[in-house]
Structure 1
Amino acid sequence: MLPTARPSFSQRHPFIFGFLLILAAVALFMGASAALRHLTGGTGPFAGPRVGVVRVEGMIADISKTTAWMDTLRDDPSVRGVLLRVDSPGGGVAASQELLDAVRRMAQVKPVVVSMGTVAASGGYYISLGATRVIANPATLTGSIGVKMELPNVQGLMDKLGLARQTLVSGDMKDAGSPFRAMTPQEREYLQSLVMDMYDQFVTEVANSRNLPVEKVRAVADGRALTGRQAHELGLVDAPGGMDVAMTDLQQLCGITERPVLVEQPKPSSWLRDALESVLDLQPASRVVTPGFLYVY
């Protein structure tokens, strides 16, 4: 009697085999599509002109991935222009300045139009100054031109716990802003001078970028938030409107008459990270606040 042939993998596991076939087909399709886009520059018979999309959302802190994406779009000749969607209350001073520089570098090569979302205030407004045009919804919260330094103080708690801290410094200002003691008048004057220097940089940038007198900018640069309509009346933004208005402006600047293909930043899969954060109750690094000086626009 002849031995019975062993069933094939597809016969023993038909559902798994079918799933693998689907995965292979999807991978093949995506690879072919990517190759076609690379060879044709995204302008084949089934693709329109390409415009890049950059999203700045939440606190402005680690901007390395955003600036890297902007550099990619800037160097891609098939991308005709860039829509910068800003929905941020601000963030670190240096990070905002770096992002502003990246926006400005982009605008020197191709048109950049900002579309302000719910809030584009402080650093969110600051980074928009490098764009070709700035569009804000009438109810967008923007402006908030100013600088804030936050210094925690736990001296009262230390006294209640009977704890003390001894510090050796090389100069009078090396320990300025220590959270373990009261601030001296000299330290307050010194730290205030740092804040005012950064504030002056902010005001000067607004005046130069928006072609406004410095005195007019200082009149509203007391940290107050403005609606998009108020900002437009003051000359701080170019026009009222949402993403559709911003996209229309961008198409006109790029000379595009047909519906463009939007080139979004690829998002890495984060399901494993999200699951670990949920199960272990972990905080993403971007949400962790380090004690000490906190300069924010």
Structure 2
Amino acid sequence: MENKLKFSQKHPLLFGFALILTAMVLIIGAMAVFNFFFFKAHRNSFFGTKVGVVHINGLIADSLRITNWIDELAKDNAIKGVIVRINSPGGVVGPSQEIYAALQALARKKKVVASMGSVAASGGYYIACAAHKIVANPGTLTASIGVKAKLTNMQGLMQKLGIAEQTVTSGKLKNAGTIFRPLTPEEKKYFQSLVNDMHDQFVQDVARGRHMDIEKVRALADGRAMTGRQAKEAGLVDELGGFNKSLDVLRLLTGIKGEISLVQGPPEKSSLLEKFLGKLTFKEQILGPRWVFTYE
């Protein structure tokens, strides 16, 4: 005891650090023991076969964080399967297609199950079609297979304000969709051709992902929303149930036994600045152009 006192007096900083380190080890050890014996149902952070979870929430406006997370799961050999949890009404066509493509690549390496929450419609449903199986709640709002272009005509307001547009273009369709006048018949035909092509891409990818006859999908692709139960009857969904049902389906596909450890992402933006910049990016993509094509 005397030697210990002498050491603490000679090296107070080292002695204090050793005490703090010992206390931390004891606390962490106690928490691990407590967690093991009293919270067995929630031990998935430390024990069990690893299953990845991709959360897709809200309007789909940017894909980068989600596709990066999907790529991480694809490269991690410890991840034995993936659940894609979707709560989204859809969004911009390009980002929806990027997420779909990333999930397609993932599905070539691991089993993927889409789990629909309250809503997984249009772009949300499009993304789900990259999975091996789709699970929806009976009351989930889904399907809504279709594309729309939002065009605004503010000519009347601009005239009242005394504002007139003067635009020089390199071609007659370059200024199509301007807010200062209605569409001409030629411009309307032009936009309709763009929408039709994007819609056809949607239908083809749904038919491919669901292994359905393309004409059957086309008959359902009139923009109508469906409940999960209606979608199952139409062949657009495989099983009815919530997240736990999706885990059961993944178990059957992968042969996973015992406990499961959920590895969830993508990680949240870590700072207020990142969150603010993310909102600016959203506004640029949605509000910046004269018109936006959306799966919603």
TM category (shorter chain) comes to 0.7 to 0.9
How far 1:269 sits from its partner (Å)? 3.3
Alignment-derived partner of residue 150 in structure 2:
150
CA distance in 2, matches of 1:254, 1:211: 20
User: What does the per-residue CA deviation read over 1:225-271, in whole Å, with 9 as the maximum and x for residues that have no partner?
Assistant: 0000010001011111111110111122221111110011233434x
Structure having greater relative contact order (Cα 8 Å, sep ≥ 6): 2
SS in 2 for 1:249: helix
Q: Which runs of 4+ in 1 moved over 4 A?
A: none
The answer on 1:215 being equivalent to 2:215 is yes
Aligned to 1:253: 253
Superposed CA deviations along residues 89-130 of structure 1, whole A, max 9, x for unmatched, are: 001111111110011111100101010000000000001111
Does the alignment pair 1:267 with 2:268? yes
1:294 partner amino acid: V
Which whole-Å CA distance do the structure 2 matches of 1:173 and 1:223 have between them? 27
Deviations 1:166-216 (A, max 9, x none): 111111111111111121000000111000010111111112221222222
**Deviation (angstroms), 1:286:** 5.3
In 1, the alpha carbon distance for the partners of 2:281 and 2:85 equals 20
Alignment of 1:104-119 (within 5 A): 104-119=104-119
Partner of residue 280, structure 2: 285
1:296 paired to 2:291: no
1:1-297 alignment to 2 at 5 Å? 25=24, 47-265=47-265, 266-270=267-271, 272-273=272-273, 284-285=279-280, 287-288=282-283, 289-297=287-295
3-state SS of paired residue (1:284): helix
Q: TM-score, normalised by structure 1?
A: 0.80
8 Å CA contact 2:62–2:282 kept in 1: the answer is: no
Identical aligned residues as a percent: 50
Q: Is the 8 A contact 2:47 2:259 kept in 1?
A: no
Output the CA distance in 2 between the equivalents of 1:74 and 1:184: 48
Q: What SS does the corresponding residue of 1:264 show, helix, strand or coil?
A: strand
More helix by share: 2
Distance of 1:105 and 1:252 partners within structure 2: 21
1:120 match: secondary structure: strand
Partner Cα distance (2:233, 2:151) in 1: 36
Q: Secondary structure at the match of 2:170?
A: coil
Distance 1:89 1:286, change over 3 A: farther
Aligned length: 258
Structure 2 CA distance, aligned partners of 1:96 and 1:51? 23
> Residues 187 and 242 of structure 1: is their aligned pair in 2 closer, same or farther, counting only changes over 3 Å?
same
Write the distance in 2 (CA, Å) between the matches of 1:25 and 1:177: 63
| Alpha-carbon shift at residue 287 of structure 1 (Å) | 4.9
Structure 2 CA distance, aligned partners of 1:133 and 1:283?
Answer: 31
- Deviation string, structure 1 residues 124-162 (Cα, Å, up to 9, x no partner): 000111111110111000000000000122211110011
The unaligned stretches of length 5 or more in structure 1 are 1-16, 34-45
* TM-score of the aligned structures, taking structure 2 as reference length: 0.81
Aligned residue type for 1:285: L
Question: CA–CA distance in 2 between the matches of 1:284 and 1:200?
Answer: 31
In structure 2, the gaps of 5 or more residues are: 1-15, 33-45
